[in-house]
Amino acid sequence: VVINNAAGNFISPSERLSANAWKTITDIVLNGTAFVTLEIGKELIKVKKGAAFLAITTIYAESGSGFVLPSASAKAGVEAMCKSLAAEWGRYGMRFNVIQPGPIKTKGAFSRLDPTGAFEKKMIERIPCGRLGTVEEIANLAAYFCSDYASWVNGAVIRMDGGEYVSMAGEFNDLKRVTKEQWDMMEAMIRKTKGS
């Protein structure tokens, strides 16, 4: 079992990023993950052994996100690498899967991503489950992915975010703020509409 959880991140407007800031994060996240994965994979091929590889990325590896450009780019690269190797090295008995966690409050992450504590409440408000995730929840899914129960799971990317991604993606999801009275009024207006 190989778990790639390399993380380096901080918030910054992209126009303030230096080449060194970009390189630091991509070296940790993408290059670190790639170098470990490729070296171990090559050795496993030589000795004809399989393994489960699991990468921990983030929901914004898929969507992109402002203010964390190096991390979003590097994590997207990790996902592409895992899917590519799932296709190429599956024949050697290696499986590559990804967990995309939403916000998990850890000291390391939140000290760089929410140093003032001002954004945590807003994060929770946009998560339909109404809370941040826990490390234990990620560990439970990781244990499954790395077990024999998941022996036919290869190339999967599982989003684990309390519904945050789909809540933000839906064009009309903010209608959950509409009161019953407002719905009654809008329904009456809609029913009066004739034609196209």
User: Mean pLDDT in runs of 10 for the chain (196 residues)?
Assistant: 92 94 97 98 99 97 93 98 99 98 81 75 90 95 98 98 89 85 91 82
Taking alpha carbons only, the member of 157, 152, 127 closest to residue 54 is: 157
| Distance in angstroms (rounded) separating the CA atoms of residues 116 and 173 | 28
Annotated catalytic residue 60: yes
Sign of CA dihedral 130, 133, 138, 140: negative
CB 69 within 8 A of CB 14: yes
Using DSSP's 3-state secondary structure scheme, residue 160 falls into strand
Sequence letter at residue 94: M
| Distance in angstroms (rounded) separating the CA atoms of residues 119 and 132 | 12
Taking alpha carbons only, the member of 142, 119, 106 closest to residue 9 is: 106
Look at residue 196 in the predicted model and tell me its pLDDT: 67
29: exposed, middle or buried (Cβ count in 10 Å: 0-12, 13-18, 19+): buried
The arrangement of secondary structure in 2-171, i.e. its CATH architecture, is 3-Layer(aba) Sandwich (3.40)
CB 141 within 8 A of CB 158: yes
Residue 54 tokens read as 């699991």
Candidates 60, 144, 149, 165; catalytic one: 60
Decide: pTM greater than 0.75: yes
CB 130 within 8 A of CB 42: no
